[in-house]
């Protein structure tokens, strides 16, 4: 879908708002979404063949779920990391997306939409958390916040030194 009129893609940025994307999500009835990849696990470069095999395995896994999905490509703003093809997944549970990211040894997953506060990474005081652990609390379904793309780290402390968003 388009970014300001282009029907081919949306340019999403961590913690940024793309109004055309938000409008598209509302029009399409999308409540929440995630972007995940199987490339370069834990921020460590892999060969194109290894990445292609991991991508095919993630594709098969996602297609078996019945969730709506489309291809995505993550690009580093600084251009110092190779493009990482992945998947834009619509309305799959956040805890399932975190689980899949862990299964494919990823350091993080990008989520957004109208998420429960815990899944959006927002603590009761409005502070932003950097952990996916809160997403596992299925009972915490209210209140709901409109969340721009948010990077949820799947590691206990800070991101690994080699990891690139």
Give residue-wise pLDDT tens across range 96-116: 998 999 999 998 888 887 655
Q: Where exactly are the structural domains of the chain? A: 19-153
Give residue-wise pLDDT tens across range 52-97: 999 999 999 999 999 999 899 988 888 889 999 999 999 888 889 9
Inter-residue contact 36 to 106 (CB < 8 Å):
yes
Separation in Å, CA 51 to CA 41, 93, 106, 121: 9, 25, 12, 29
Q: How many CA atoms lie within 13 A of 53 on its CB side?
A: 6
């Amino acid at each position: 879908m388009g970014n300001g009129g282009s029907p081919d893609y949306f340019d999403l940025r961590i913690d940024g708002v793309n109004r055309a994307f938000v409008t598209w999500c509302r029009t399409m009835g999308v409540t929440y979404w995630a972007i995940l990849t199987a490339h370069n696990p834990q921020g460590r470069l892999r060969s194109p063949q290894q990445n292609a095999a991991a991508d095919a395995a993630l594709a098969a896994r996602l297609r078996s779920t019945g969730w709506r999905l489309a291809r995505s490509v993550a690009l580093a703003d600084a251009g110092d990391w190779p493009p990482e093809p992945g998947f834009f997944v619509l309305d799959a549970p956040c805890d399932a997306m975190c689980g899949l990211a862990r299964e494919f040894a990823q350091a993080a997953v990008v989520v957004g939409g109208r998420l429960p506060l815990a899944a959006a990474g927002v603590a009761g005081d409005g502070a932003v958390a950097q952990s996916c652990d809160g997403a596992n609390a299925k009972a915490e379904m209210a209140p709901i916040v409109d969340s721009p793309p948010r990077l949820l780290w799947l590691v206990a402390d800070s991101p690994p030194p080699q990891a690139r968003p």
